[in-house]
Amino acid sequence: MPRSLRARKLENAVGLAVIVALAIASVLPLIHILYMVIVRGVEAIARIGLYRFLTEPPHPFDPQNPGGIGPALVGSLELSGLAIAVATLIALPASVLIAEFRGSRISRGTLLLALTLVEFPTILVGLTVYAVLVDHVVGGYNMLAGAVALTLVILPYMAVQASEALRGVPEGVREAAYSLGATRLKTVYALIAPAARRGILVGILIGLARAAGETAPLLFTVGGAYEGYHLCLYKVGGAVPLMIYQFIQMPYKPAQDLAWGAALVLMTIIVGVMLLARLLVKEVKIL
Residues 17-39: tens digit of each pLDDT:
899 999 999 899 889 999 999 99
Q: How far apart are CA 220 and CA 6, in angstroms?
A: 63
Q: How far is CA 54 from the centre of its chain?
A: 21
Which is more confident, 54 or 283?
54
pLDDT at 6: 77
Q: Of 46-50, 91-95, 157-161, 172-176, where does mean pLDDT reach its minimum?
A: 172-176
Q: Is the predicted pLDDT of residue 287 greater than 50, yes or no?
A: no
Taking only the tens place, the pLDDT of each residue in 46-101 is: 988 999 999 999 988 888 888 899 999 999 999 999 999 999 999 999 998 888 88
Q: How far apart are CA 269 and CA 62, in angstroms?
A: 27
DSSP code, position 182 = -
Q: How far apart are CA 166 and CA 52, in angstroms?
A: 44
If pLDDT is split at 50, 70 and 90, which confidence band does 2 have? low
Cβ neighbours, 10 Å, residue 178: 12
Judge if pTM exceeds 0.75: yes
pLDDT at 286: 43
Fold of 70-282: MetI-like fold (1.10.3720)
Q: Measured over all CA atoms, what is the biggest interatomic distance in the chain, rounded to whole angstroms? A: 81
H-assigned helices in the chain: 3-48, 50-55, 70-100, 105-118, 122-129, 143-167, 171-179, 184-187, 193-195, 197-213, 216-219, 240-247, 253-282
Task: Tell me if 215 sits within 8 A of 242, measured CB to CB.
Answer: yes
Q: Which amino acid is at 145?
A: A
Question: Residue 43's beta-bridge partner residues?
Answer: none
If pLDDT is split at 50, 70 and 90, which confidence band does 140 have? confident
Q: How far apart are CA 31 and CA 33, in angstroms?
A: 5
Q: How far apart are CA 111 and CA 61, in angstroms?
A: 49
Q: How far is CA 78 from the centre of its chain?
A: 14
Q: How far is CA 218 from the centre of its chain?
A: 14
Task: Tell me if 110 sits within 8 A of 97, measured CB to CB.
Answer: yes
| In the chain, where the domains are located | 70-282
- Collapsing DSSP states into helix, strand and coil, what is residue 237? strand
Q: How far apart are CA 228 and CA 70, in angstroms?
A: 8
Q: How many CA atoms lie within 13 A of 98 on its CB side?
A: 25
If pLDDT is split at 50, 70 and 90, which confidence band does 41 have? very high
If pLDDT is split at 50, 70 and 90, which confidence band does 8 have? confident
- Collapsing DSSP states into helix, strand and coil, what is residue 223? strand
Q: Which of 254, 264, 207, 205 is nearest to 226 (CA)?
A: 254
Q: Is 112 exposed, middle or buried (0-12, 13-18, 19+ CB in 10 A)?
A: exposed
Q: Is the predicted pLDDT of residue 264 greater than 90, yes or no?
A: yes
Q: How many CA atoms lie within 13 A of 209 on its CB side?
A: 20
- Collapsing DSSP states into helix, strand and coil, what is residue 170? coil
